[in-house]
Chain A
Amino acid sequence: MEQRLRPKRPFSAQIHRLVLLLLLVINIYPLLWMVLNSLKTEQELTMNPFGIARQPVWSNYIEAWKVAKLGPYLINSIIVTLSAVVLTLLVGALAAFFLSRFEFKSKGFLLVYFTFGMLIPIHATLVPLFIEMRSLNLMDNRLTLLLPYTAFNLPITIFILAGFMNAFPKEVEEAGIMDGCSVMGIFGRLILPMLTPALATAFIINFLNNWNEFSFALVLITDGALKTLPLGLANFAGQYNRSYTLQMAGLTIVLVPTLLFYLSVQKYLTAGMTAGAVKG
C-alpha cells in the first residue's frame, strides 16, 4: 500500500542508494565494533569478538581514563592542537594571499619551495629538530610542539589556500581598490570571507594531523604534565601484551571530541562562496 503512495524512484537512483548504504555500513561498522567491544571483559572479547557484551563493563572507561591519563592529556591536546591550527591558518592565509594574488620575481620559486615542504618525511627531521630545540632551550614547554606543528602543516595549508584563491576573479580586488581599500583591507574584508570553505578544509586537515601527531610529541616532550593524547593511548600496548578492551574504551572517549569538531565544521566545507561575490 505504502509503496504505491510513494513516487517511484528510477532504478539507477535505487542502485545509488544501495551503494551508498553499503559504504555507510562499511564505514560505520568498525566504529560500532569498537564501541561494542569497549564494554566487554578481556576474556569475553577472546571468546566472543563479534557479539554484544552480556554485561556491559562500564569500569573499562574509568580504567582507560586513568591508564591513558586522558584528563591532563586531553586538555594539552586541545590547547596545542587549536593554537597550532589557528596560527597555521593565519600565517598560511597571508602567505597564500601574496603568493596567489601578487606578481613578483621569485613567486614561482617560493611556491615550489613551500610545496617541497610537503615531501619532507617527519622521521628524518626528528634528531636534528631535537638538537635544535634543546639548544634553543625550547624543550618541555607549551611552545615546543606549537612551532613544529605549525611549520609542518604550513605547506599543505598554503597549497590548498593558494589553489582556492587562484580561482577568485580579479574584479574582486579591483572593486576593493575602487572603494579605497588598503592591501590588508582587501585581504581582511574581501579575500578572507570568500576563503571560508578552503579555510575549513585546511582547518580539518590541520586539526586531524595535530590531534594524531605522535613522533614529535614523543621525542620533544619529557614532562608528564605537557604530554598529548596519542602518547597516552600508546600506554595500552605493553611489551608482550595489549589490553584491547581498555584501548577501545580509550579510543571511544577520544573519538567524541573529534566527531563533535567535525560535525561543527562540516557545513562550511560544502558551502559555495564565490558565487555572487562580484555583485556585492
Chain B
Amino acid sequence: MKMKWAKTFWVYLLVTAMIGVLSACGQSNNTNTASGNTGNTEQKQVVLSFMTTWSESDPFTGVYYKNAMAFEKANPDIKLDIETIPYNDYPVKLNTTAAGGNLPDLILMIGGGSMFEQIARSGALMPIDDMMGNWKEDFLPSSKIKEFNVDGKQYGIPGEVSYATVIYYNKKIMKDAGYTEFPTTYDAFKAMVKDLKAKNITPIAYGNKTGSVLLASLLSPLNERISGPDLYAKIKSGEQKFTDPDFMNALKDIKELSDIGAFNVDLNSIDNVQATNLFLSGNSAMYIDGSWGAKQISKDKAADLEVGFAVFPQIEGGKGSMSTMPGATNQGVVLNAKLDDAKKAAAEKFLQFMYSEESYQNIIRDGNMVPANVEAPADIDPLFKEMTGVLAGVKEITPVYDIVMPATVVTATKNGLQGLTTPGGSTPEAVAEELQKELGQ
C-alpha cells in the first residue's frame, strides 16, 4: 500500500511538471515568433501569411507551389508564410477562419462559386479592380475569369480552367469492337454503348461513390446539350422548373443509360480512383471525368495502353453545341480586406507574378488548361497534347451545376442521381420533384 501511494504521488508530480513544461513550451514558442517578426520589420521585409492547399509533393498543385517559391526568390523583400491544408479539409478550415474573422493575408479559393461568394459578400475580402490594369483583355479575357467576380467586383484571378466532361476511351477495345471514329451524335453514342454491352464489355466506368462524378460529368453536359448554356440561371430565377421537360429529359437520359447497362454495376459504391483503375486495367471501354483526370491516367497507365479523347456528343434538336463545355475556373488567390498599404503592394506583386505569362506556361506544362491566351510550350506530355487538341474546339465555358446551385440542392441531386442509377431506384419524375421542393425552400 505504501508503495502504491508513493506511485500516485509521483504521477501527480509528473502531471504538474508536464503542464508546467508544456505551457513553458508554448510561451517560448510565442516569444520566438515575436522576436522573429521584429527582426523582419527591421529589414523592411513584408511577411504575407498565405493559406492554401498547394504543396510541393502534390502532382496537381506542385506547379503553383513552385511558382510561389520562384516569386519569393525574385522578391527577397517579401516573405510568404505558407500554411498548407489538405484539399479535402480546406473548406472546413476556410469557413471556420472566415467565420471567426481571422483570415490570413492571402487566401486560396480553390474555385469560384457559392462558397467564395458568401465570403466575398461578407466583406472579408478585398476587391482587386484597381489592380486589373496589370492584365490586358486579349491576354486574360474577362469571360473566363467571371467566376471570381462577385456583384461586379473582381476578387481574384483563376490559375486554371477545368472542363467537367472529357470522354477517355481505350483505343484498342473500341477498335476491336469495330469503332475507329468516336460518335459525334448522341444517338450513335447510345447505339455504341448498347453494342459494347452486347459484346460483354463494360461501356463506361464511373466511380460515383461521393455522388459528384455523375453530377459534373454526365448531368452537366446533358443539360448543356439539351437546353443550352443558361438552364441553371433560368431554374434559379424560377423561369423554368426542374420538373419541366428540359431538365427531365436529362434525367431520363441518365436513367436510360443506366437501364441499358452503360455503367459498371458498382458505380455508386466505388470511388473515382477505383473507376480509373477499372479503365486502366482494360475492364471498361470508356471512362468519363473532367479534364483533370488526364494527369492521373498519364501517370498510372501501362505503356502499351492507348487512350483516346472525345468531346461529349451533340444531341439532335438540342440547343447546345459541341463547342461549349461545362467547366470551372480554379486556383485563384484572394486578398484579406484588412491588408495595410505595404502588404497590399506586396500582394499585388504576388498576383502579378502568379498570373503572368511565364507562370501560366508552367501551369500548362504541368498538364492544366489555363484561362489566359498563352502559347503552349513545346515540351508537354504527348497524352496531354492530344487532349488539348481534341478540346481546342471548345470556345465557351458554361457553369457547372454544383458551383451554381445552392448546396442543399446539390446534395439532393447527388443523392437523386445515385437513386436513379440504382436498379429499382427512384424515377426521374420523383427526383425532379424532390429537387424542385428543395429549391423552393
Contact = CB atoms under 8 A, between A and B. Distances in A.
Interface stretch (B128-136, B163-171, B296-304, B371-379): B296-304
A188 B8 contact: yes
B83 A222 contact: yes
Interface in B12-54: 12, 14-15, 18-19, 22-23, 25-27, 29-30, 53
B302 A43 contact: yes
Given A130-B97, A142-B26, A239 B4 contact: no
B19 A83 contact: yes
B297 to A, nearest CB: 10
Contacts of A215: 92
Contacts of B342: none
A197 to B, nearest CB: 15
Nearest to A221: B83
Q: Which residue among B84, B89, B290, B292 has the maximum number of chain A CB atoms within 10 Å of its CB? A: B89
Nearest to B294: A240
Contacts of B101: 131
Contacts of A239: 53, 58, 60-61, 87, 110, 292
A260 interface: no
Contacts, number: 124
Contacts of A43: 300, 302
A241 B4 CA distance: 54
B57 interface: yes
Given A43-B300, A239-B87, A126 B19 contact: no
Contacts of A224: 83
A193 B27 CA distance: 36
A99 interface: no
Interface stretch (A14-22, A106-114, A229-237): A229-237
A143 interface: yes
Contact of B273 (A134, A192, A222, A241): A241
A67 B57 contact: yes
A219 interface: yes
B23 A240 contact: no
A189 B1 contact: yes
A28 interface: no
B277 interface: yes
Nearest to A238: B58
A244 B53 contact: no
B26 A143 contact: yes
Q: Secondary structure of the A side of the interface? A: helix
A237 B15 contact: no
B296 A127 contact: no
A189 B4 contact: yes
Contact of B296 (A144, A218, A240): A240
B30 to A, nearest CB: 6
B395 to A, nearest CB: 24
A146 interface: yes
A42 interface: yes
Contact of A130 (B14, B100, B277, B281): B100
A46 B89 CA distance: 26
Interface residues of B, number: 54
A218 B92 contact: yes
Interface residues on chain A, size class: 35 or more
Contacts of A126: 92, 96
A235 B92 contact: no
A237 B86 contact: yes
B100 A231 contact: no
A234 B22 contact: no
B289 to A, nearest CB: 9
B183 interface: no
A86 B18 contact: yes
Nearest to B14: A86
Interface in B87-104: 87-89, 92-93, 95-97, 99-102
B91 to A, nearest CB: 11
Interface in A111-131: 126-127, 130-131
A142 B25 contact: yes
Contacts of B293: 240
B8 A143 contact: no
A97 B15 CA distance: 19
Given A83-B18, A244-B273, A134 B1 contact: no
A61 B11 CA distance: 37
A91 B430 CA distance: 54
8 contacts: A86-B15, A87-B19, A126-B92, A130-B96, A141-B25, A239-B110, A240-B292, A241-B58
Interface of B: 1, 4-5, 8-9, 11-12, 14-15, 18-19, 22-23, 25-27, 29-30, 53, 55, 57-61, 83-89, 92-93, 95-97, 99-102, 110, 273, 277, 280-281, 290, 292-293, 295-296, 299-300, 302
Task: Sort A-B residue pairs by CB-CB distance and give the 9 closest, nearest first.
Answer: A141-B26, A234-B86, A142-B22, A238-B58, A130-B100, A239-B87, A240-B292, A142-B26, A46-B277
Interface of A: 42-43, 46-47, 49, 66-67, 79, 83, 86-87, 90, 126-127, 130-131, 134, 140-144, 146, 188-189, 192-193, 214-215, 218-219, 222-226, 231, 234-235, 237-242, 244
Given A86-B18, A241-B60, A241-B296, 13 more contacts: A43-B300, A43-B302, A87-B19, A130-B100, A141-B30, A143-B22, A143-B23, A146-B22, A188-B8, A192-B4, A237-B87, A240-B295, A241-B295
